[in-house]
A = this chain, B = another copy of it.
Amino acid sequence: MQLHLCTWQEVERYLETSSGIIFPIGSTEQHGPTGLIGTDAICAEVVAKGVGESTGAIVGPTINVGMALHHAAFPGSMSLRPSTLIQVIQDYLVGLSRSGFRRFFFINGHGGNVATLKAAFSETYARLADLQIPGADQVHCKVNNWYMNRDVYQLAKELYGDREGSHATPSEVAVTQFVYPEAIKDAPLSAEVASGFPIYGAADFRRHYPDGRMGSDPSLATPEHGQQLYEKAVDAIATDYQKFLAAD
């Protein structure tokens, strides 16, 4: 059930039985020579839709552009500054809290979003209290990184071992191949790939990771893997969402 495909009266009825909403959050950033710039958003969105179907939850609009300032030295990468993203999340959550939503569950496709999201949750709880919105002290927010769920993570390790890496990974590329088989890319990948450098600023990042990959070999990805990973992710996250809803 996608918020975008509901009427406001359907939302009103939904709120009689559930106060939960799921937001896919991704990023728009380079993913190496063969990874799609929208990889993180595509993965988060498809998994969120799956979880929405499986649980009956409303799925809000995808946050396509996240916190990816460290990728800014590669053309086509986009980012919100953390302080902007904090404002965006606040605007989303304050408004929907007034509608009656109380459980905000973010399915996340990009590690770089996590810190800012958590900061945003803290700031939002305080702002909701400031605004004296009735029930605001019941608001809970959670972020679930789809690729970190145990079953997903284990499957990726089984399929790719160390060549999974940590950015432009074969597992995320595989999910995008499953969703957009028509957009599977063919580009030369050097056998050697940089890894192990911490992430600092954008120029520093590109200096250390010249083709954008971080220790990964995305050539291992297949659409079939993508489907398997997708299914594991939907199952694991649907369970997590239900627990999140149920908790006091």
**A37-B8, A115-B116 known; A72-B126 Cβ under 8 A:** yes
Cβ A198 vs Cβ B4 within 8 A: no
Q: C-beta contact mask, A116-139 vs B, less than 8 Å → 1, else 0?
A: 111111110110111110001111
CB distance from A241 to the nearest CB of B (A): 14
Contacts of A136 in B (CB 8 A): 201
**A7-B36, A34-B7, A114-B115 known; A82-B75 Cβ under 8 A:** no
Nearest-neighbor residue (CB-CB) of A100 within chain B: B75
**CB<8 Å pairs between A and B, sample of 5:** A7-B35, A8-B31, A8-B77, A9-B33, A82-B86
The 6 closest A-B pairs by CB, nearest first: A4-B38, A125-B201, A11-B76, A61-B64, A115-B118, A82-B119
Cβ B65 vs Cβ A92 within 8 A: yes
**A28-B4, A95-B72, A136-B201 known; A187-B9 Cβ under 8 A:** yes
Contact of A163 with B by CB under 8 A: no
User: Once bound together, how far apart are the Cα atoms of A184 and B116, in whole Å?
Assistant: 37
User: Once bound together, how far apart are the Cα atoms of A38 and B132, in whole Å?
Assistant: 29
**Residue of B69, B91, B132 touching A79 (CB-CB under 8 A):** B91
Contacts of A203 in B (CB 8 A): 129, 137
User: Once bound together, how far apart are the Cα atoms of A120 and B202, in whole Å?
Assistant: 14
Q: C-beta contact mask, A28-47 vs B, less than 8 Å → 1, else 0?
A: 10111111111001100000
List CB contacts (< 8 Å) of A68-92 with chain B: 69-70, 72, 74-84, 86-88, 91-92
- The quantity of this chain's copies bound in the complex is 6
Contacts of A62 in B (CB 8 A): 64
Contacts of A212 in B (CB 8 A): 8
Contacts of A236 in B (CB 8 A): none
**Residue of B75, B78, B142 touching A60 (CB-CB under 8 A):** B78
Cβ A38 vs Cβ B61 within 8 A: yes
Cβ A125 vs Cβ B33 within 8 A: no
**A28-B3, A99-B75, A130-B131 known; A11-B33 Cβ under 8 A:** no
User: Once bound together, how far apart are the Cα atoms of A113 and B116, in whole Å?
Assistant: 12
